[in-house]
Structure 1
Amino acid sequence: MDNLKGISSFVKAVEEGSIAAGARRLGISAAAASQNIARLEQQLGVRLLIRTTRSLALTESGQLYYQRVQSVMEELDDAQAELHEMAGEPRGKLRIASSAAFGRNVLAPLVAAFAIRYPKLKIELVLADHYVDHIREEIDLSIRFSQQLEAGLVARRIARVPLRFCASPAYLAQHGTPHDPDELIHHQCLVLRVPFDGRLLGWRFVRNGLRFEALLNDTLICNDIDTLANMAAAGAGIARIGAFVADRLIADGLLVSLFEPLEGKVPNAEIEPLEFYACYRDRQATTGKLRLLIDFLVAHIPAPWQA
């Protein structure tokens, strides 16, 4: 047991950058943590840490030992968290990544509600439009749309969000209203450049059961969907925007939704929805708290968008 105290004090000191900070994480005094580490070094017969008044550094032996025991301590923490979850009180850390627009407009209030329900969890929400590496960035769960899926991740679909093709009333009054995707080539199109791979995101439709991408006159390009929506509302052209961003602007009269089915008429091309997935590394990585989070998101995504 003393050896375990020493390992825990050592690992937390390295993670937090000082013995005092590591001790706070463990809920013990800095003196007690320092004694635990000293006893561990004595038992191992090597020096693990180089201590100064301003910094903490690993010796070569300390680096090797830390690499070996860190995963062991994480397994122990996970085992303890699982036991607490069985008792109905999940705890521990959850790190969630999402694209900025979906995270800001949809995910943030859901994560806030989840945190209120399970107050012993320590949750971090990372809004990032770059490619997210689950291992390097220690991400437990990432929310991705279908074009971001990659091999090696388990993906569970959580939402099918309608896409709106929108323009301001002023733009449509000046340039006319397109009624068919083939007309987009004659309009000012505001197109998203996907931040994580740099490509332009095509505008997909379905006609007679076949998918196709419309030809575009991409006069304005941006890597942020909220910004594209604001530029469309300012009259710059037509933008393809998720309903979680567009619907509020449509309701306020700032944008008009195009290619919508008219009463009694079937549209000649359907708009393919944007599908979102909850992604994690592998089935062995699913802790109880992660399963709780995914089930919560599936249950609380707005009803019209539920998968």
Structure 2
Amino acid sequence: MTEAGERFLFAIRGNLESLQEAIADVSADRGEPCGILKVSMSPTFGLTYILPLLPGFVARYPQIRPEWIFENRQVDLIAEGYDAAIGGGFELTPGVIARTLAPAHLIAVASPSYMHDRTPPADPAGLSAFDGIVMRSMRTGRIRHWQMRNAAGEEIAGGPREKIVLNDPAAMCRAAVLGLGVALIAKPDALPCLESGELVRLIPQWYADAGPISLYYPSHSLLPAKTRVFVNFLTEEFRAQKLSARFAGSLG
């Protein structure tokens, strides 16, 4: 590199990443979003709520090739080359931002057969009288205990006694459908079974707040067109389908 070239590189070094992104965006897109869109999401949530949106997305953006990975883990977006991730409870690392899609509220559920000859609990403390289907965190190795709240702002610690320990929300939901006990699971995971009558909600005015379900993506100053349109498309669909309200445990 010549001396003049070194001076030029020094002068633009602070904006070099943005410049490279801008060149790549214009060169690759030619006015239309295109390229591989690599997205991570949990299997249950992704299959139930995100995958059904794919036909509409590819019809609108035919030059984008979705590469969607269904996995129960927090990915490193930048190091692993992901364009986005969907989930809850992610620790925000430098260079990543989160856009809230909906609440992640946990509710108490059981099958009608399990509750057939049992008196429903009056509040979260009453859940301790029931067999519990609980989850052990793969990250911490611990079983999490929840503080439940209602719309009036009251809070009570409570949950069923530990009887069956699983490590997957879908497995917990299925175990509850099989009549094995009471589970505290995210309302999006329970919703199809609640609507079909396979599960019933206990203490419907109470829920535990596990934080938001968010869309995570790198905080580039100039977001690639393929990622930008995906972010906009997903937030529009969540709004149109009123998924935030449907997932809110506070609404009973």
TM-score (norm 1): 0.65
Structure 1 residue runs of 5 or longer lacking an equivalent are: 1-71, 262-268
Structure 1 SS opposite 2:113? helix
What is the one-letter code of the residue matched to 1:164? I
Question: 2:25 maps to which residue?
Answer: 78
Higher fraction of strand: 2
Q: How many residues align?
A: 224
When the two chains are superposed, the root-mean-square deviation of aligned CA atoms in Å is 2.7
Higher relative contact order (CA 8 A, sep 6+): 2
1:300 to 2:237 alignment: yes
Write the deviation string for residues 53-107 of structure 1: whole angstroms up to 9, x where unpaired. Answer: xxxxxxxxxxxxxxxxxxx99875433235x3xx3x2101211011222112111
| Change over 3 Å in CA distance of 1:104–1:274 after alignment to 2 | farther
What is the one-letter code of the residue matched to 1:150? L
Shift of 1:157: 0.4
Question: 1:172 maps to which residue?
Answer: 115
Write the deviation string for residues 104-160 of structure 1: whole angstroms up to 9, x where unpaired. Answer: 211111234212221111111111112311123211101121x22323221110122
Structure 2 residue runs of 5 or longer lacking an equivalent are: 1-18
Question: 2:4 maps to which residue?
Answer: none
Structure 2 SS opposite 1:164? strand
1:248 to 2:192 alignment: yes
Shift of 1:176: 2.8
What is the one-letter code of the residue matched to 2:90? Q
Counterparts of 1:253 and 1:234 in 2: how far apart (Å)?
13
For the Cα contact (< 8 Å) 2:22–2:222, is it kept in 1? no
Higher fraction of helix: 1
Structure number with greater Rg is 1
1:257 to 2:201 alignment: yes
Structure 2 SS opposite 1:148? coil
Runs of 4+ that moved beyond 6 A: 72-75
| Change over 3 Å in CA distance of 1:194–1:297 after alignment to 2 | farther
For the Cα contact (< 8 Å) 1:175–1:187, is it kept in 2? no
What is the one-letter code of the residue matched to 1:229? C
| Change over 3 Å in CA distance of 1:205–1:300 after alignment to 2 | same
TM-score (norm 2): 0.77
| Change over 3 Å in CA distance of 1:250–1:144 after alignment to 2 | closer
Please say which of residues 107-116 and 126-135 is displaced more in the overlay: 107-116
Structure 1 SS opposite 2:175? helix
Alignment of 1:1-307 (within 5 A): 76-82=23-29, 84=30, 87=31, 89-145=32-88, 147-152=89-94, 153-206=96-149, 209=153, 213-261=157-205, 269-272=206-209, 275-284=212-221, 286-301=223-238, 302-305=241-244
Counterparts of 2:75 and 2:160 in 1: how far apart (Å)?
29
Counterparts of 1:290 and 1:273 in 2: how far apart (Å)?
26
Counterparts of 2:117 and 2:146 in 1: how far apart (Å)?
23
